Structure 1
Amino acid sequence: MKTEIETIPGETPGIAYELIVHHLSGSDPAAPRVYIQSALHADERPGVAVMHYLIPMLEHAEAEGRLLGSLTLVPHANPIGAAQHLFSNHMGRFSGATRVNFNRDFPVPGKDGVRHLDNASSATFAERRLKSRLLELADGCPIVLDLHCDDEGVQYLYVPEILWPEMSDLAACLDAEAALLWDKGSDRAFEEAAFEQMRASAADGDLSGHCVTTVELRGQIDVDAQTGLKDAEGIYRFLQARGVVAGDAAAPDLRGGFVGKPIRHVDMIEAPAGGTILFHAKPGDRVEAGQLIAEIVVNPGFKDGCVEVRAPQGGFVLTRRARRFIRMGDNLFKIIGDEALVAGYEGALED
């Protein structure tokens, strides 16, 4: 494995960031190339734990000559966000310089099919140059995994609808519980931008064998040795099944009860009042229409001091808020409903 440390100059003198990039060389030029990154939202750590266990597995395969496809790995994809702390709180989701989500506004090909990237010396914010560089590193790789997590949630994937069900092998190898399928985007997240470049570069539009996804590795606090190792083994098994690593492993079947539906089925349940959350449903639960899923304590101790929140339709609880204090209008749950919403989502579900 070859490790490179790239420098991203900051916006003012004396400020710079280091981007650590690992390259592993495969022995078969025809085997798929792979790009994996984690911690693009710098306060999301499950992916880093996965990389901690996955990298030695891949190094071992490379040393033994079992690595067929080449890989590029970026364990800390956002050194800018990693440095953002305010009063001991880490703020790694939005850029402090531009207030833009670190996983939004990536460059995509225009109507002319040309994508314009910023280079290291471009006179623009460091986050813009970082985003361009991450896309460059992923270019030419038919397999692109962006490791994220939610507040509290099951493990699930965002998948371009055109690549489903072919990409169900990744969901099965990870033992994921759900997948959200999208057919158009509006936020230009990394996954969307990488996929648009794939589609623009694909010979005759053939996307067979391609895999690009945001992997949501459960919730913010699901960072431990057991789950990190389990997910690393799942990705390794997937790489074997796709012919990146030599081996006999084949993708298993999807887990029982797996939920894979278009993103238009997602009900974003917003808090009708501000206060303290008392949950009555958790990620992975099946709920029915009208079922009590949460109460919000507005006036503690009084008969009418709680505001009830009920499921708008039957469905699968995908995620819920991690913090137990909420403002009116904040997102409380994501539920994959049995029925698609009339005005369903197409791009980002959250800011």
Structure 2
Amino acid sequence: MNISELIIPGDTPGIEWRLPVLHFAGTSATAPKVYIQAALHANELPGTALIHYLCEHLREAEAEGAILGDITIVPQANPIGAAQSHFGEMQGRFDLASRTNFNRDFPLVTLAERDSLLADLDGQTAVNRLKRTLLHMALGAELVLDLHCDDESIQYAYIDEAFWPEASDLASALAMEAVFLSDGESSAFEEAVGHAFKRQGKETLAQVPGRLAVTVELRGRRDVYPDMAKADAHGLWRFLAARGVVRDEAARLADFTGPAVPLDNIEMVRAVEPGTVLFHKDIGDTVEAGDLLATLITRPGFADGSVDIRASGAGLVATRSSDRFVRRGGDLMKIACGKPTRLDRKPGTLED
């Protein structure tokens, strides 16, 4: 394993950020190259734990000559976000300086324009320099995995339709309970990679065989446990074996049997009033139209002081908020449904 370090100069005197980058050299020129990063949202740590145990597998494989494709890993991709705390709590998702989501505003370039990402970096802010550097590294690979997690959540992923159903092997390997088929119309890291992969020539490709850009949602933010991380690391190892990145003849993958639904089929359940949240359904539950999802206590102690939130259609409860007080319009749940839930969704991400 080769270890290098990226240095990102800070935006104020005396500050710089350092990112360890781990590299495992492959022995086959034809094997796929892989890029994996975790904790771009710095407070989402299941991916960092997964990488810790995955590297144990990879070091053993390296000693046995079983790594076929180059593998580049950034275990903690956002030291800037990791250093930003507010009243003792790491923020991680939004840059306190710009108020921008760390996983938005990645440059959209074609694959041929990859090297332009590193041009004139001296004039870029630390966050923009970080984003450009990460994206440049990722575009040197064919398989790109961005490891995230949700709040309270099942295991699922955002996968551009251009990589589906070929990417069902990853869904199977990581025992995902659902896949959200994205439209590739945002500036998130994974979709910026997909944007380039689909634009390798003059035409925009509808399908990109042999390539993958994916956001993996490794359950919820509190799901950071040794057994989970080891199981996920083993699952990712089996995916790498199935794609010919590592050699493991014993690795086998079953067919993925979970739902794969477009983003138009995701019901975003939001609070109609502010109040205390009492959930009646948990992640992983299936619901029918009209089922009681949550009760909001809006005026405690009053006879008319609560509001019921019900499902508009049938589906699988994929995520749930961990907060038990919600503002008006705040997110409560995502439900993966079998048909579109709204006709006015704008292309792009489901949340900021």
Structure-1-length-normalised TM-score: 0.95
The verdict on how the C-alpha distance between 1:61 and 1:203 changes in structure 2, with shifts beyond 3 A counting, is farther
| Alpha-carbon distance, 1:320 to partner | 0.9
Cα distance in 2 for partners of 1:94, 1:293 equals 29
Cα distance in 2 for partners of 1:281, 1:58 equals 40
The verdict on how the C-alpha distance between 1:98 and 1:292 changes in structure 2, with shifts beyond 3 A counting, is same
Cα distance in 1 for partners of 2:175, 2:347 equals 25
- Whether the 8 Å CA contact 1:167–1:211 is kept in 2: the answer is yes
Show CA shifts across 1:268-307 (max 9, x none).
1110111111001111111111111000111223322211
- Whether the 8 Å CA contact 2:27–2:69 is kept in 1: the answer is yes
Amino acid at match of 1:235: L
RMSD after superposition? 1.8
**Residue 282 (structure 2) pairs with residue 282 (structure 1):** yes
Q: Partner of 1:199 in structure 2?
A: 198
Cα distance in 2 for partners of 1:137, 1:113 equals 14
> Which deviates the most, 312-321 or 74-83?
312-321
Q: Partner of 1:75 in structure 2?
A: 75
Matched positions, count: 347
Amino acid at match of 1:252: A
Counterparts of 1:305-316 in structure 2 under 5 Å?
305-316=305-316
Q: Partner of 1:134 in structure 2?
A: 134
Amino acid at match of 2:162: I
| Alpha-carbon distance, 1:93 to partner | 0.4
Show CA shifts across 1:221-259 (max 9, x none).
00100110110000000000100011121322225xx11
| Alpha-carbon distance, 1:200 to partner | 2.2
Cα distance in 2 for partners of 1:153, 1:13 equals 40
Q: Partner of 2:147 in structure 1?
A: 147
Q: Partner of 1:317 in structure 2?
A: 317
Q: Partner of 2:237 in structure 1?
A: 236
- Whether the 8 Å CA contact 1:270–1:330 is kept in 2: the answer is yes
Show CA shifts across 1:20-69 (max 9, x none).
10110010010000000000000101101101100111111011100001
- Whether the 8 Å CA contact 2:184–2:195 is kept in 1: the answer is no
| Alpha-carbon distance, 1:121 to partner | 4.1
Helix, strand or coil at the partner of 1:65: coil
Q: Partner of 2:253 in structure 1?
A: 251
- Whether the 8 Å CA contact 1:265–1:344 is kept in 2: the answer is no
Q: Partner of 1:190 in structure 2?
A: 189
Cα distance in 2 for partners of 1:152, 1:120 equals 40
Q: Partner of 1:302 in structure 2?
A: 302
**Residue 333 (structure 2) pairs with residue 333 (structure 1):** yes
Cα distance in 2 for partners of 1:342, 1:199 equals 26
- Whether the 8 Å CA contact 2:67–2:247 is kept in 1: the answer is yes
Helix, strand or coil at the partner of 1:200: coil
Amino acid at match of 1:218: R
The verdict on how the C-alpha distance between 1:109 and 1:273 changes in structure 2, with shifts beyond 3 A counting, is same
Cα distance in 2 for partners of 1:203, 1:346 equals 23
Q: Partner of 1:101 in structure 2?
A: 101
Amino acid at match of 1:38: A
- Whether the 8 Å CA contact 2:184–2:194 is kept in 1: the answer is no
Amino acid at match of 2:267: D
Runs (5+) with no aligned partner, structure 2 = none
Amino acid at match of 1:318: A
- Whether the 8 Å CA contact 1:182–1:262 is kept in 2: the answer is yes
Cα distance in 2 for partners of 1:45, 1:171 equals 20
Amino acid at match of 1:90: M
Cα distance in 2 for partners of 1:113, 1:65 equals 32
Amino acid at match of 1:211: L
Runs (5+) with no aligned partner, structure 1 = none
Cα distance in 2 for partners of 1:312, 1:23 equals 48
Counterparts of 1:24-39 in structure 2 under 5 Å?
24-39=24-39
Cα distance in 2 for partners of 1:119, 1:305 equals 58
Cα distance in 2 for partners of 1:35, 1:96 equals 27
| Alpha-carbon distance, 1:119 to partner | 5.0
- Whether the 8 Å CA contact 1:263–1:345 is kept in 2: the answer is no
